[in-house]
């Protein structure tokens, strides 16, 4: 099936970048206690995953090197993980073999997952589909995959930080430089600094409206704050920015029973 151009672009960019994520993937697979997002916020402050996943069937949408899937498996879930990048999946599969994991790895687009309706109890994304897929495609697909009463949790950039991303691809500043309302696609393919990839985000009211339209109830919504100890600019958001403004958000949702 032909994929949208942005899916191909993101596959290309993540294949190119995959070698740079191997070491972090190995460290996260080795870690028994999850931490979340760019600021490694402790699990007890974020709680992206249910504490006990015994007998749950779970899917990770845009799994990268697969460590979130491993954390779910450790909590007792049967896990399927999908990613569009062969390079990222190669790392995930190798680590899966080394750790004796039974995770099923799927190569494909998280907007069209080859699983039947209502198959999963839980779906998750940490900067996977949540950032790199079109919300108007992947949210309805996640809802389709969940059974009634099933849960979807995801972590991504806040729409406030995306409003502060300069047009040239440089790091977020303290000025609003893009419209907040109507934000959707962020095409980084021809920026001056570190070109490549297409990301997505929505204004908070548009996320709410999308969830309502697809029968998702909001269980919780978090704005993550970088800890005092954070320094530097791990990616494109300086620590000082993220100590005073939310650079990351977490949605915890439930499909109407």
Q: For residues 52 and 50, what is the distance between their CA atoms, to the nearest angstrom?
A: 6
Q: Vertex 110, ends 17 and 220: CA angle to 5°?
A: 100
Q: What is the bridge-based pairing of β-strands 35-36 and 41-42?
A: antiparallel
| Site track for ligand SAM across 126-155, x = CB under 6 A | xxxx--xx----------------------
Minimal CA–CA distance to 184: which of 206, 200, 204? Answer: 200
Choice between 133 and 230, CB closer to ligand SAM: 133
Choice between 62 and 96, CB closer to ligand SAM: 62
Q: For residues 102 and 98, what is the distance between their CA atoms, to the nearest angstrom?
A: 11
Which residues have C-beta within 8 Å of that of residue 55, sequence separation ≥ 6? 76
Q: Report the SS3 class of residue 126.
A: strand
In the complex, least distance from residue 126 CB atom to ligand SAM, rounded to whole angstroms: 4
Using CB under 6 A, which of 14, 105, 200, 241 touches ligand SAM? Answer: 14
Start-to-end Cα distance in the chain: 32
Contact between 10 and ligand SAM (CB under 6 A)? yes
Q: For residues 51 and 121, what is the distance between their CA atoms, to the nearest angstrom?
A: 14
Choice between 20 and 179, CB closer to ligand SAM: 20
Choice between 160 and 198, CB closer to ligand SAM: 198
Using CB under 6 A, which of 91, 109, 157, 163 touches ligand SAM? Answer: 109
* Contact region with ligand SAM (CB under 6 A), list: 43-51, 95-103, 108-116, 144-152: 108-116
* Contact region with ligand SAM (CB under 6 A), list: 122-130, 163-171, 186-194, 221-229: 122-130
Residues at the site binding ligand SAM, with contacts judged by CB under 6 A? 7, 10, 14, 21, 62, 64, 68, 82-85, 88, 109-111, 126-129, 132-133
């Amino acid at each position: 099936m032909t994929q949208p151009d942005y899916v191909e672009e993101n596959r290309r960019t993540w294949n190119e970048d995959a070698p740079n994520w191997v070491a972090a993937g190995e460290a996260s697979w080795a870690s028994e206690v999850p931490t979340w997002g760019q600021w490694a916020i402790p699990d007890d402050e974020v709680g992206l995953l249910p504490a006990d996943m015994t007998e749950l069937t779970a899917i990770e949408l845009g799994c990268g090197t697969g460590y979130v899937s491993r954390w779910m498996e450790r909590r007792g879930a049967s896990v399927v993980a999908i990613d569009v990048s062969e390079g990222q999946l190669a790392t995930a599969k190798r680590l899966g073999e080394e750790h004796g994991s039974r995770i099923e790895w799927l190569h494909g687009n998280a907007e069209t997952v080859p699983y039947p309706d209502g198959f999963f109890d839980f779906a998750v994304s940490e900067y996977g589909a949540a950032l790199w897929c079109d919300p108007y495609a992947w949210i309805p697909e996640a809802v389709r995959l969940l059974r009634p009463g099933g849960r979807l949790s995801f972590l991504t950039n806040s729409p406030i930080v995306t409003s502060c991303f300069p047009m040239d691809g440089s790091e977020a500043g303290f000025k609003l430089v893009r419209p907040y309302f109507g934000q959707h696609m962020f095409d980084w393919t021809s920026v001056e600094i570190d070109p490549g990839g297409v990301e997505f985000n929505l204004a908070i009211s548009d996320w709410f409206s999308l969830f309502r339209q697809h029968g998702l109830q909001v269980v919780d919504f978090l704005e993550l704050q970088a800890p005092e100890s954070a320094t530097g600019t791990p990616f494109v958001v300086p620590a000082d920015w993220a100590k005073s403004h939310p650079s990351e958000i977490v949605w915890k949702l439930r499909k109407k029973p």
